[in-house]
Amino acid sequence: MKKLNQLTVLFRKILVTSFVISTLLTSCKKEQGDNVEDVSHQKNDEVYGMLLKKGISPAMIQDLDGYYLVENDLLI
């Protein structure tokens, strides 16, 4: 009987710990998603500026949802 109580207590501790950890991980993922979008937009602006500095005409750069098609040849 004593052994059964110890197992029950151990199981409860494991269950509570896993619940807390999963809650923390889930809440952190939501916040990271917002930051990733800001960084990708900033990166895209830097890439676009770099392409213009290299002498590529804006008419030859197509924006394809996070990538640039340059001169219908290079996907950056």
Domain that includes residue 14, residue range: 2-75
- What pTM does this model have? 0.46
**The two three-digit tokens of residue 27, written as one number:** 């809440």
Instruction: Tell me the average pLDDT across 48-64.
Output: 88
pLDDT given at position 40:
57
Encode pLDDT of 14-49 as tens digits: 999 988 888 877 765 544 555 555 555 666 788 888
pLDDT given at position 13:
92
Q: Are 51 and 76 in contact (CB under 8 A)?
A: yes
Cβ burial, residue 61 (10 Å; 0-12/13-18/19+):
middle
Place of tokens 């993922």: 29
Neighbours of 76 (CB within 10 A): 13
Higher pLDDT, 11 or 1: 11
Number of Cα atoms under 13 Å in the Cβ half of residue 23: 6
| Number of compact structural domains in the chain | 1
